Amino acid sequence: MATPVTSIKNIGPAQAKALAAAGIHDAETLREIGAHEAYGRMMAAGQQPHFIGYYVLVMALQGRPWNDCKGKEKEALRAAFDNLKDARHDKGRSELEAALDMIGVIDPRTRRKA
């Protein structure tokens, strides 16, 4: 039987709803794919990127308080979040264009700049 994502401390109803919209319906799946992949799927499903939501998810999966992230660790998470956000949200392009570019279909000479 699947365990609800809300069984993980610091994951509340709003984040559970965003996870479900991204196709992540249970704690087992969330733990298996990890916070980074889960947050990427949440953004792909329409969740607006927000660093605090990202690192809260990371801390939750580590069983740590949400505000335990500090210093160099927080800087590293910020860099990972920024890379994820940049990779998933190409400004000025449709989702189709971004997907086609990702798989190498769009000629780099004709690619629009964001």
Render pLDDT for 42-53 as a digit per residue (tens, 0 to 9). Answer: 998 888 889 999
The answer to whether residue 24 is domain-embedded is yes
Report the interhelical angle of 13-21 vs 51-61 (nearest 10°): 100
Helices then strands, counting H and E runs in the chain, come out as: 5, 0
Domain assignment of residue 108, yes or no: no
Whole-prediction pTM value?
0.75
**Rounded distance between C-alpha atoms, residue 13 and residue 25, angstroms:** 12
| Total number of domains constituting the chain | 1
- Asked if residue 28 is part of any domain, the answer here is yes
Which residues are CB-neighbours of 98 under 8 A, at least 6 positions away? 90
Is 110 a domain residue? Answer: no
Q: Which residues contact 90 (CB under 8 A, 6 or more apart)?
A: 97, 98, 101, 114
Domain span at residue 27 reads 5-102
**Tens-place pLDDT, residues 29-41:** 999 999 999 999 9
In this structure, what CATH number is given to the domain that contains residue 96? Answer: 1.10.150.20
